Each structure stands twice: as structure tokens, then as C-alpha cells.
Structure 1
Amino acid sequence: MYQPPHFREDDLAVQHALIRAHPLGLLVTLGSAGIEANPIPFVLEASASGPGILKAHLSRANPQWRNADPTQEALVVFQGPETYITPSWYAAKREHGKVVPTWNYAIVQARGRLTIRDDPDWLLQQIGAMTDAQETPRPEPWAVSDAPAPFVAAQLKGIVGIEIEITRIEGKWKVSQNRAEADRLGVSAGLRLSGDDASHRMADLVDARGASSRE
């Protein structure tokens, strides 16, 4: 990933927080069918020996798990907040007009070897952890155990688990850090006037990174 120094995010806790907030990762593998990519929800587990472990499952009918070359790194891309940035928000537009549009985003890329986990107990644990992560905040959370055990067992036969021990992880927060303070303030104000949640989340990132650049 192209990484200008001012956009790098190397704090593992910050990277992990984005993954947990946006667990639908794009799994990219290289194998007998060439490059394959599928969006897959992941569970992230901490690791004492590395940057973490990603666990997920694929439909057994999905050929990606069969085609992936186990000797090659897999790539998982987690996309956080992203928004278009109009130059109309920049103070510099009014000063000299030498501005262009851009796109702000926060993203994490994780790499590691892919291991197949075709074991019902492993799959049940993975599905339970993934479900709990999404259901716990709900007023009446659903649990895997709410479904009949024979039904769950039958469903498990239709999926295959994958596990990636992360060997390399990169974060990139491109949130207007390269702009002058007046431009950052204009971007934040413009995003907040947009009214949608994605724009508000990006405005929070612009404000937070702008504040840290002044410290």
C-alpha cells in the first residue's frame, strides 16, 4: 500500500479498533484460479506472538478456499470511514483557487498465510464469537444456541473455516492531515453539514488528527 509518512497509522490498537468496527474484510488470495476476492466478516483475536489472528468462514461451495495457494500470503482489506472531499470546503479555494478534489479514508490491510479449518467445533466457536460481537449491543441479542442444535449442525456442514495469523499489518488514515489548519476546519465543517453518519465519522477523524498534529 502506498504510504506517505503523514498518513501512516502504526498503532496496533488503532488498527485493531478499525477492524472490529468494520469486520467485513475483502479477502484476496492468489492460487490456481488466479486472483480471487470475496467480502467476508472476520473475527479478530489478539495474539501474544504477533499482530493478531483473523478467523472467518466461507461457504463450502465458494471455490476460493480450495484454490488459494497456502504458500502465498493472503491479503485482507478492512475499509473504515470514507468520503469525497470537495475543494469548495478549503479556505485555500478562496485565497488562490489552486485546489483539487480528493477522497478521505481510513483503511487497514492485513497479510498472512491462510489455514483451512474444517472442524465443526472450530466453526461453532468462530460463528459464536462473530455473532456475539454483533448481537451483544442489541436490546435482545440473538445467540447461536437459540437455533435448534440439529439445524446448526446441518448449517456447519455447508461452510469451511479459515484462519490467518497476521504477519504484516498496515494502517492508513488519509484524513486531511496534509492540509493547512484553515482547510481542515473547512473540511470538518462541510462534512458535518452533510448530515449523514459517514460524513460525521470522517469529520471526527479530521478533527482528531488535526488536533494531534498541533500537539
Structure 2
Amino acid sequence: MYIPKQYTKEDYQEIKAFMQRHNFVTVISTVEGRPIATHVPVNVQEDEETLYITGHVAKGNQQWRTLDYGENILVIFQGPHAYISSTWYEDEDVPTWNYQSVQVYGKSRLLTEEELVSDLTKLLDKYEGQRDQGATWNNMSERTKRQMKGVKGFRIKVTEIFAAYKLSQSRSTTDKDHIIDTLDHSDNHLDRAVAEAMAKEQGRSK
């Protein structure tokens, strides 16, 4: 991914936390030179300073075959994004788009049945664990659990990370403050999320 230097994020802990927050991703691999992609929720975990991405796809989705000892698997983590009008600047300039995005490459393999159960348990615990009578793995009937046979689990060992936080870093403090305030009053939740990210990047509260 092309990232101008001022937009490159290198803080490993920040990047890891971003990936864990924005964990509905796009997994991209190739079949005979043709890219194929799947949008899927994943778990992001660290083991001995290496990040691993785990998830599952439907068995009917033939992309799983490319994840059986796949090389150069691309995973895109997309954060908030917002249009930035040039009318928000002190001086005339072109409009642009602010965003946060992380792309990683890695090597993949399929999960064993035991590993898949563990991964599904973690994913369900994350989203159901705090709910009253949440639909966690341990609460499911054997009939429901058998639907696991319809999916294939995968694990991707992350080998390269590219993180872009394009948050008006090249603008003046006055411009950035105006952009933050304008986005923060938007009805669009993505605009407000970008305002929050910009404020954090500047070390200020909105």
C-alpha cells in the first residue's frame, strides 16, 4: 500500500488495537492470477510478538482452498473515513478524504476442527459474552454446533504490516481544529469517528 511518510503509522500497539477494533475485514487471495475476496469477522491475537488472524468462511466459498498453506494473503482492516471539504481551510486548496486503514500480508493455513471450535468460542464470547443468556458456544445445542461442518477455519500469520492514518497532518493547526469541529457536528457517525481520531492524533480532546 502506498503511504506518504506523514500518514504512516508505526506504533505497533496502536496498530494491533486498531486491528482488534475493526475486525470485520476483507481477505484477498488469488486463483490462477485472479484476485478473490471475502468479507468476514476475524479474531486478532498476538503470540510471541507475532500477530495471527483467525476466522472462517462458508465451505461453499471456494476461497478457503487458497488459504490451505497460502502465501501473500492480503487482509484489509478499514477504519472510519470522511470527505474533507476545501471550504474548511483558511486558504484555497483541493478537497480530500481522511481515513484510517491497515493492510497486512501473511501466510495462511486451515484450522483443525479443535482449533475452529476454539476460534468460534472466542468470537462468540466477544460479542455474546456480555449479553443476558448470550448465544455462546457453551450455551448452544449440539444440533446448532453441528452447523460448524459447513465452514472452514483459517489462520494467517502476519508477516508485513502497512498502516495509514491520513488525518490532515499536513494542514495547519487552525485548519485541523476547524475540520475536527465540523466533522464532530455531522450527522454521519463516520465523520464523528474521524473527528475523534484526528483529535487523538493531535493529543487533544474534542
Structure-1-length-normalised TM-score: 0.88
Partner of 1:55: 54
- Structure 2 gaps of 5+ residues are none
RMSD: 1.8
1:3 counterpart residue number: 3
User: Could you say which residue in structure 1 is the equivalent of 2:114?
Assistant: 121
The SS at the match of 2:39 is strand
Residue 169 (structure 1) aligns with: 161
Q: What is the deviation of 1:146?
A: 1.9
In structure 2, C-alpha distance between the alignment counterparts of 1:139 and 1:191, rounded to whole Å:
35
Q: Which deviates more, 194-203 or 74-83? A: 194-203
Q: In structure 1, what is the equivalent of residue 139 of structure 2?
A: 146
User: 2:201 — aligned with what?
Assistant: 209
| Alpha-carbon distance in structure 2 between the residues aligned to 1:138 and 1:89 | 42
Percent sequence identity over aligned pairs? 25
Counterpart of 2:125 in structure 1 is 132
CA–CA distance in structure 1, aligned partners of residues 68 and 48 of structure 2: 26
Aligned length: 204
1:104 maps to 2:98: yes
Cα gap change, 1:71 to 1:136, in 2 (>3 Å): closer
C-alpha contact (below 8 Å) 1:30/1:68 kept by paired residues: no
The residue that corresponds to 1:31 in the other structure is 31
Instruction: Name the counterpart of 2:187.
Output: 195
In 1: Cα distance, 2:67 partner to 2:153 partner: 13
**Per-residue deviation at 1:143?**
1.0
Q: CA deviation at 1:49?
A: 4.3
Q: Is the 8 A contact 1:30 1:69 kept in 2?
A: no
> Which runs of 5 or more residues in structure 1 are unaligned?
none
C-alpha distance in structure 2 between counterparts of 1:33 and 1:85, whole Å: 36
Q: CA deviation at 1:149?
A: 1.9
User: What is the identity, as a one-letter code, of the residue corresponding to 1:54?
Assistant: I
Letter in 2 for 1:110: V
Letter paired with 1:107 = S
Report the residue type matching 1:32 in the other structure.
E
- SS class of match (2:74): strand
For 1:55, the aligned partner's letter is: T
Aligned to 2:75: 76
Tell me if the contact between 2:68 and 2:110 (Cα under 8 Å) persists in the aligned partners: no
Q: In terms of mean alpha carbon deviation, does 36-45 or 83-92 score higher?
A: 83-92
How far residue 71 of structure 1 moved from its aligned partner, in angstroms, is: 5.0
Deviation readout 1:146-168 (Å, 9 max, x if unpaired) = 2202320x211101111001111
